[in-house]
Amino acid sequence: MCQQEKSHLAHLLDNNREWAKRTQARDPEFFKTLSMQQNPDYLWIGCSDSRVPANEIVDLMPGELFVHRNVANVVVHTDHNCLSVMQYAVEVLKVKHIMVVGHYGCGGVKAALDGAKFGLIDNWLRHVVDVKEKHQAVLRDIAELKQSDVLCELNVIEQVRNVCRTAIVQDAWNRGQTLQIHGWVYGLADGLLHELIQAVGSDELVSSKYEQAMVSLLTRNQDKA
């Protein structure tokens, strides 16, 4: 059984060897340099969706982008996995930017919007359902076909505020560390990133940046009703 399973993935191992060979031919020092340390300026908190490869989207090499991914790019204060990544990125790696990145066509967001039931993951997606319920008035005024995209945007904006409210980010700002939080959404159809909430670099800016993002979202989507 093990041998059979291994043979099913042989093409991936072959792909890896070919990739390593091409990479080393292009840059003989690539793996030596990469193995010495990672020194990224950015933490990407994104969705687990296989169509959203973080490094490729922003054209950065391995080692230049620290990444955490989960279904529907959710940040909650009880998720020790996400918080551990954030703490290491901010306090050890000293990243200067945290980007919360959603994407249009997100299956997790659509499931939350439609009330779909898939089992254990329904508990996780309850966080997105909370965003939906908080912004029911906004979604009600949006054409049904556009509601999923708008909820993707709302979810990013809310998760940015969650990041800003973590003790990790609050402590970094209090000690004067340079750290900006960003909210983006990625378009699967065109490969482009769109800024939803402008850089938040201090606790004093959290509320105003959040409000600006909400006004921009409402204005941008008025013609989608």
Strand partners, 183: 100, 197
The residue from 106, 149, 152, 182 that is catalytic is 106
- Quick: pLDDT tens for 118-159: 999 999 999 999 999 999 999 999 999 999 999 999 999 999
Tally of residues, the chain: 225
Active site residue 164: no
Q: Phi and psi at residue 143, in whole multiples of 5°?
A: -55, 140
- Please report the pLDDT score of residue 217 as a whole number: 96
- Please report the pLDDT score of residue 1 as a whole number: 43
Q: In what order do the strands lie in the sheet with 42-47?
A: 65-70, 42-47, 97-103, 180-186, 193-200
Is 5's pLDDT higher than 60?
Answer: no
Tokens of residue 12, six digits: 């991936």
Is 224's pLDDT higher than 70?
Answer: no
Active site residue 49: yes
Tokens of residue 168, six digits: 């990790």
The residue from 103, 127, 135, 161 that is catalytic is 103
Q: Where are the beta strands (DSSP E) in 19-170?
A: 42-47, 65-70, 97-103
- Quick: pLDDT tens for 46-87: 999 999 999 999 999 888 999 999 999 999 999 999 999 999
The residue from 14, 22, 27, 51 that is catalytic is 51
Active site residue 141: no
Active site residue 17: no
Tokens of residue 9, six digits: 């993935």
Q: How confident is the model at residue 2 (pLDDT cuts 50, 70, 90)?
A: low
- The rounded mean pLDDT for the chain is 93
Give 207's DSSP letter.
H
Mean pLDDT of 110-124: 97
Mean pLDDT of 209-219: 96
Alpha-carbon distances of 25 from 15, 20, 44, 55, 60, rounded to whole Å: 15, 8, 29, 21, 19
